[in-house]
């Protein structure tokens, strides 16, 4: 049976996920860690002429610095509005990048088409991780690099998701996206078709020019998963409980005392060499 084939239930889930990432304005969140995204790309040591895919590219946090190396970059994302933002960002930067709407679980590319397949906090949210892993490997050329940045379960963003999940249950029947940040799980998902695997936990700085309470409101307005979680709670007291718990973990993790918010979430850097 074709692992890419979707049931009607999966099609409904995909539609819901697309709606989640189209909600709010993810670009306002992604900009908070654009510096760390550029550092991630720098460690990939891209060369001019390399064919690079940014899978689940969002608004282009990885695509833009990759294109500046002279690589030929393609960006793919499920959410049309994020692709529109990515195109606008590339145009403003004077960069030639091809951005396309598409699904990381069924990518419209040939086997081995890219020298480097990269993704930051994107492909980890696709609902079928084994299908995603197979696709990342399929479109990567032999000897090429698959590079992922995935939130870890124990890091700040992982804890934010867990806190939100206590109040607003995530979709049932799918594995937690945070398992992409678990070393044992990633080893299992990449045990076939990979010649070498390097897993490195790293911090990434996220900075917002306002207080932690205002940062929680910023996420409620602009970060799709947080916005949808609040919308799912019809009782005002339940929404207040979620807000209070989120404010507590943001305040506890804030590294700034100057009226701004600065946190250092952990992610797992995955580098897999395709066999």
Give pLDDT tens digits for 37-61.
999 999 999 999 999 999 999 999 9
CA 94-77-120 angle, to 5 degrees, is 80
Coil, helix or strand at residue 107 = coil
The residue extents of the domains of the chain are 8-153+171-204+265-274
| pLDDT tens per residue across span 193-233 | 999 999 999 999 999 999 999 999 999 999 999 999 999 99
pLDDT of residue 174: 81
Per-residue exposure over 83-106, b if at least 16 CB sit within 10 Å of its own CB, e if not: bebbbebbeeeebebebeebbbbe
Please state the rounded mean pLDDT for residues 139-149.
Answer: 98
* pLDDT above 90: residue 262: yes
Please give the distance of CA 102 from its chain centroid, rounded to a whole number: 15
CATH topology of domain 8-153+171-204+265-274: Rossmann fold (3.40.50)
**Strand 206-208 relative to strand 261-263, pairing:** antiparallel
End-to-end CA distance of the chain: 25
Between CA 20 and CA 228 the distance in angstroms is: 7
Strands 114-120 and 98-101: unpaired
């Amino acid at each position: 049976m074709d692992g890419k084939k979707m049931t009607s239930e999966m099609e409904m889930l995909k539609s819901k996920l697309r709606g989640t990432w189209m909600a709010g304005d993810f670009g306002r969140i992604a900009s908070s860690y654009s510096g760390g995204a550029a550092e991630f790309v720098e460690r990939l040591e891209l060369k001019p002429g390399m064919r690079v895919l940014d899978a689940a590219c969002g608004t282009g946090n990885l695509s833009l610095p990759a294109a500046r190396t002279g690589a030929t970059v393609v960006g793919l994302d499920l959410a049309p509005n994020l692709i529109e933002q990515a195109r606008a960002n590339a145009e403003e930067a004077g960069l030639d990048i091809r951005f396309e709407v598409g699904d990381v679980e069924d990518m419209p590319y040939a086997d081995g088409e890219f020298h480097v397949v990269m993704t930051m906090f994107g492909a980890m949210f696709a609902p079928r991780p084994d299908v995603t892993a197979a696709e990342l490997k399929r479109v990567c050329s032999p000897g090429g690099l698959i590079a992922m940045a995935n939130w870890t379960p124990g890091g700040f963003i992982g804890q934010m998701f867990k806190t939100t999940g206590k109040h607003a249950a995530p979709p049932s029947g799918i594995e937690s996206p945070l398992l992409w940040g678990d070393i044992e799980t990633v080893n299992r998902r990449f045990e076939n078709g990979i010649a070498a695997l390097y897993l490195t936990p790293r911090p990434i700085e996220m900075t917002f020019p306002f207080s932690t309470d205002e940062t929680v409101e910023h996420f409620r307005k602009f970060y799709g998963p947080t916005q949808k979680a609040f919308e799912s709670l019809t009782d005002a007291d339940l929404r207040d409980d979620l807000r209070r718990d989120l404010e507590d973990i943001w305040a506890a993790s804030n590294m700034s005392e100057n009226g701004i918010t600065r946190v250092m979430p952990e992610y797992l850097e995955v580098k897999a060499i395709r066999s």
